[in-house]
Amino acid sequence: MPEQNTWTIEELVALTDKVQNGTVEFRGKPFEFQFCELSEKEEPKLKALPDNATESEKSDWYAQIGNDRILAMIRKANTKSPQTVSLTAENWAELPITLRFSITSEILSLREDVAGNFSSG
């Protein structure tokens, strides 16, 4: 019998189907959004980074894949729960970059909460 604070395979698989909600505070007001975890097959694909890529090209590549991943997570949630859409690919590009950073950080910190369940005590 697994401990209560240990994930089961069924719970982990279910996370990729569950719409999750996040909230960030931006300039004194809350902003709510939704996202879904991705399975490997849903991860955005980018061309491989050339071995001779410059540091600038590497940085741009990692930024692009991070942005594409967050957008894929948002799109997936929007498909599953269209009645609660607040972010879209179109309005994501128009948001203040500081708000986008906060949303990305919140999604990644929620993902880290999940990862924390895998660390040995």
- Domain holding 106, by residue range, is 9-116
Mean pLDDT taken over the chain: 87
Q: Kindly report, residue by residue over 102-117, the tens digit of the pLDDT.
A: 999 999 885 444 444 4
In a domain, 111, yes or no: yes
- Residue 4's pLDDT is 73
Within a domain: residue 121? no
Alpha carbon distance 87, 83 (integer Å): 12
What tokens does 64 get? Answer: 């692009």
DSSP string of 6-20?
S--HHHHHHHTTS-E
Q: What element of type H or E holds 115? A: helix 97-116
CA distance 59 to 53: 10
Domain count across the chain:
1
> Who has greater pLDDT, 118 or 110?
110
Contact 88, 78 (CB under 8 A): yes
Specify if 59 maps to a domain. yes
Looking at the DSSP bridge assignments, the partners of residue 26 are 29
Average pLDDT in the 61-90 region? 93
